[in-house]
Structure 1
Amino acid sequence: MLAMVKWYISSLNASFSSRVPEGEWEKKPYNPVLGEQYFMTWGDVDGCGETDVTCEQVSHHPPITGFYIHNKKAGMSLNGHNGQKTRFSSTSLICEQVGQSLLTLHNRDNESYLLTSPPLTVNGIWYAAPYIELTGNSYIQSTTGFYATIEFSSRGWISGEKNHFKCYIKKNAGNPKEYLYKIEGQWSGKSTITPYGTKQSSPFINVSESKAASMKDKELEEQDDMESRRVWQKVSEAIRAGDTQTAGAEKSKIENKQRAERKEREEQGAQWQPKYFTWEENQPTVFSLQRMLASVLKNKYDPPNAGNWVFNPSKSSDQ
């Protein structure tokens, strides 16, 4: 569980902080189209082996992405889905991340970890300098009987630390008021760990020292028509050229094609199906871990369902 929390915190920095170059701000992303796909591979780091990634937009209304991340040498896989529910609050955009993921350690008798994602707050919109902060809570539950609660807080007007988090690791069968470890610090910087019953802290992780893996994907001409870089190729070229008129026109072509395909399906009474993922209403491991977590968190944790968009390996042979 300690290793899992360490990885989870480092992944937050990679997702929401280090990817934005210093001195720059968040950019408005493309809205993925239904069935859009993305494949890539992270290179080997310190002998851990390569890690393959498969993503597919499995729903457009609401927007949901299914993903499968697999490292055969390490015997690990991460299968889940992520969606967003957004609303404005004062001068900020609040983004609730719906969905969950299941990390499985295949070399440890399929030991599994259920992970949830924290809400995002996009600040600085009205000043044309948007940046992301994490708020609220996220949770990790293991089949081994340990769970972690992670509380995120943002910097206030007067005091507080940017990108602050506080994590407690506990036993499902233990006293809910007692913890094994408290981990606290910045998810974009340094954090410390303190065992229960002591005041002696030691370094936990400094994410700025993490070694980034190389990324590689197929050349553009080798990609399928539904792969992200092919779908948005002309829009991207126009943006890079500073031609907003052409970018808007090419974006409209993509959206109009999607509308026409949706209308055709409706007329034929056909149901669209993802290529690589299948919805499983009550995924057994997800359901079991949710029950374990709900039993200790009570009304603090109320997942909307126990389902997951499950990756189908047999469909990936033509990837």
Structure 2
Amino acid sequence: MSASGTATPVLADVILSPTSLTEFPAYWCEHPELFATISEGTTAEERMESVLRWFIATLKGQYTTRNEKMGSEKKPLNPVLGELFYGTWPDENGRGETILVSEQVSHHPPITGYYIANEKAGVVLQGHSGQKTAFSGTAINVKQSGHALLRVKPKDGSPEEQFLITLPKLRIEGLVWGAPYIELTETSAIQSSTDYSAVIEYKGKGYFSGKAHSYKAVLSKGSKHINTYEGQWTGISNIGSSKGPVFYDADEPKEEVTVKPVDEQGEWESRKLWYKVANGIRSGDYETAGKEKSRIENEQRQRRKDEQAANTEWPSWHFNHIDSDADFQKLVALMHDKTQPQTEDAYVYKG
């Protein structure tokens, strides 16, 4: 409640995060060295395993960071159409700089397009994601729409390889106790143009390792089984079995994305757009946060009304929408009975 006794127009900090969903693609590259070194694999199988390791390395940041920083899962700020986020990871070990361009390309339904590239390393990721939520008993189920396409130019001179990455489903638990947290559920998959694939199954406590945030990945080429990887995506996972060699340790240091200071950002850039809202949430000034959040949302609604009246559409800054992607279709055809994205449309980076 505000000082006047009226309800503050923003949910308290137990629910809201000071971070917009437009920033979330940065979690794909909190381990930029793992991203850059994919192209250094000397065989298609080695590169496939590197893609799987890098993907597992992205999960802890994406799905548990807010628990660690703020005590429980928070609801991200809903981006406005045209919202932008730019970031970089500096060159390390001579492998080149990695850049990120993220844009809210649709508001209804909410979709974020992203492009991450290390041109020197020959590794480029682009994709889009959205969320659909539904209540189920005492939890919230979140279905992530979209997919990512990774392109790799191997350092050994082999032809370019492509990897289609599908997105896991989420289940937000702990609502009854006021301490929400995320578990990944069901399966996701990575399919390469060389016919290597990885199907990743996610389970919570009591399955595989008997611990929360568990997964088991099966690497195959066509119908031939190659290897398995299992453990916790928030902890240690091993090759072959829980007693096998370490595949990945999620406690390895991560690198936060580098962003220009807020006063040097444009008005559509995420941290400048939401600056007063984020400050209000962090400082406990929910009245100011609520007023600023309502102002931004009202301006968004008015823009859409103006566009409808003028029979125009918002022009995307960095991405073009396409209904059908030939590379996507080729990779889906190789997936056989694996988890497949439901749609083949895409948002292609135009610079």
Fold-level match, TM-score > 0.5?
A: yes
How many residues of Structure 1 are paired with residues of Structure 2 in the alignment? 300
Q: 1:60 offset after TM fit, Å?
A: 1.0
Alignment partner for residue 134 of structure 2, among 81, 87, 91?
87
Counterpart in the other structure of 2:343: 305
Distance in 2 between residues matched to 1:214 and 1:50, nearest whole Å: 14
Q: Once the 2 structures are TM-superposed, how far is the Cα of residue 23 of structure 1 from its aligned partner? A: 7.5
Work out the CA distance in 2 between the residues paired with 1:22 and 1:82.
Answer: 24
Q: Deviations over 1:156-209 (max 9, x none)?
A: 59x93211101111112x3xxx511011111111111129xxx9832211121x
Q: Distance in 2 between matches of 1:301 and 1:204?
A: 23
Corresponding residue for 1:130?
Answer: 180
Map Cα deviations across residues 5-31 of structure 1 (whole Å, 9 max, x no partner). 111101112212356426821222111
Report the residue type matching 1:89 in the other structure.
S
Establish whether residue 148 from structure 1 lines up as the match of residue 201 from structure 2. no
1:139 aligns with 2:197: no
* TM-score, normalization by structure 2: 0.81
Alpha-carbon contact 2:101-2:116 (below 8 Å) kept: yes
**Superposed CA offset, 1:120-145 (max 9, x none):** 11111222211111011000000011
Give the equivalent residue in structure 2 for 1:265.
307
Q: Where does structure 1 lack aligned partners over 5 or more consecutive residues? A: 314-319
- Partners of 1:241 and 1:234 lie apart in 2 by 10
1:27 to 61, 71, 74: 74
Which stretch has the larger CA shift, 280-289 or 14-23?
Answer: 14-23
User: Could you tell me how far apart the structure 1 residues matched to 2:220 and 2:304 are?
Assistant: 47
- Residues 1:288 and 2:334 aligned together: no
Partner Cα separation in structure 2 for residue 292 and residue 91 of structure 1: 38
Contact 1:43/1:214 (8 A) holds in 2: no
- In the alignment, structure 2 segments of 5+ residues that lack a partner are 1-47
Runs of 4+ in 1 over 4 A off after TM superposition: none
Give the match's secondary structure for 2:293: helix
Distance, in Å, in 2 between the alignment partners of 1:168 and 1:26 is: 29
Q: Relative contact order (alpha carbons < 8 A, sep ≥ 6): 1 or 2 greater?
A: 2
Equivalence for 2:248: 205
Give distance in 2, aligned partners of 1:24 and 1:48.
36
Partner of residue 317, structure 1: none
Distance in 2 between residues matched to 1:22 and 1:244, nearest whole Å: 19
Per-residue deviation, residues 250-285 of structure 1 (Å, max 9, x unmatched):
111101101111001111111222110111211111
- For residue 134 of structure 1, what is the amino acid of its counterpart? L
Q: Secondary structure at the match of 1:126?
A: coil
